[in-house]
């Protein structure tokens, strides 16, 4: 390939790489804007302590209850179950029904998926 043609190819490739970088930057800006708007709309930010505790294998129900600053009795009362049943759910000795998990999710103001490990 003649030297002049090789330079044109290289130049076009560099332009292409520049366009790719700009596209990625614009995607980052868009993602930032979307995240910022969700926060302004009231979406809750999940602290890293909650995320890491769940990832480390702690029971999500217990993690969320503690994060909300609630006692077992308070959550049990809100969900209409006994404190001992909640304790068994948190310790993994029992598995809750869909109905109970839905009430617990409502009591903790989280999605039911957030309570299932």
**Number of domains, the chain:** 2
Question: Do 27 and 61 fall into the same domain?
Answer: no
Q: At what angle do helices 98-108 and 72-79 cross, to 10 degrees?
A: 120
d(CA 97, CA 6) in angstroms, rounded, equals 68
Question: Do 56 and 8 fall into the same domain?
Answer: no
Question: Do 108 and 52 fall into the same domain?
Answer: yes
List C-alpha distances in Å: 41 to 44, 48, 58, 91: 9, 21, 30, 35
Say yes or no to pLDDT of 1 above 70: no
Question: Do 92 and 38 fall into the same domain?
Answer: no
- Tens of pLDDT, residue by residue over 4-58, are 877 888 888 999 999 999 999 999 999 999 999 999 999 888 999 999 999 999 9
Say yes or no to pLDDT of 59 above 70: yes
What's the domain range around 102?
Answer: 48-115
What's the whole-model pTM score? 0.70
Q: Residue 44's pLDDT is what?
A: 86
Question: Do 31 and 87 fall into the same domain?
Answer: no
Round the average pLDDT of the chain to a whole number and report it: 94
């Amino acid at each position: 390939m003649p030297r002049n043609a090789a330079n044109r190819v290289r130049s076009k490739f560099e332009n292409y790489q520049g366009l790719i970088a700009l596209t990625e930057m614009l995607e980052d800006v868009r993602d930032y804007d979307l995240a910022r708007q969700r926060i302004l709309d009231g979406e809750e930010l999940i602290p890293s302590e909650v995320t890491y505790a769940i990832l480390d294998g702690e029971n999500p129900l217990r993690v969320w209850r503690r994060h909300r600053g609630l006692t077992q009795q308070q959550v049990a009362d809100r969900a209409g179950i006994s404190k001992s049943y909640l304790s068994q759910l948190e310790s993994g000795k029992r598995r809750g029904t869909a109905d109970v998990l839905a009430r617990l999710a409502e009591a903790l103001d989280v999605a039911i998926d957030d309570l299932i490990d």
